[in-house]
Amino acid sequence: MQQTYFMIKPEIVAAGDQKVGEILAMVNRAGFRITALQMRQLDRATVEDFYGEHRGKGFFADLCGYIAGGPVVAVRLERADAVAKLRELIGATDPAKAAIGTVRDLYGASLQNNAVHASANPGDAARELGIIFG
């Protein structure tokens, strides 16, 4: 079994429990086991550490402000090939390019407000899980 990190972003949490529940149900139907789940308000320093690979890029400050701007749902998931399977389930980063029926197709509004985050690779998953869950 492989673990990965999944985050439901602030705009979805702000929209209410129904959307959060629908997204978690999609994850469950895709064969993932939820091994940790927290609704959290991430502080700016944690978000800057989390997205550290983007430091110095033009969108970094806006991204950090957006993620730190409201509660998120932080989830540790487990299944065989979890990282790749979750990336497939959520779709392309840009919701306009996401495959029909993926999380970002259904819930994403823009490149930044794209509903969810998923670890890009196993190394990122381990790092992100460490930052969020210790």
Length of the chain equals 134
Domain edges within the chain:
2-133
Which residues carry out catalysis? 117
Q: pLDDT of the chain along its 134 residues, tens only?
A: 999 999 999 999 999 879 999 999 999 999 999 999 999 999 999 999 999 888 988 889 999 999 999 999 999 999 999 999 999 999 999 999 999 999 999 999 998 899 999 999 999 999 999 999 98
- What is the pTM for the complete model shown? 0.94
Q: Does domain 2-133 have CATH number 3.30.70.141?
A: yes
Amino acid at 31: G
Say if CB 8 and CB 20 are below 8 A apart.
yes
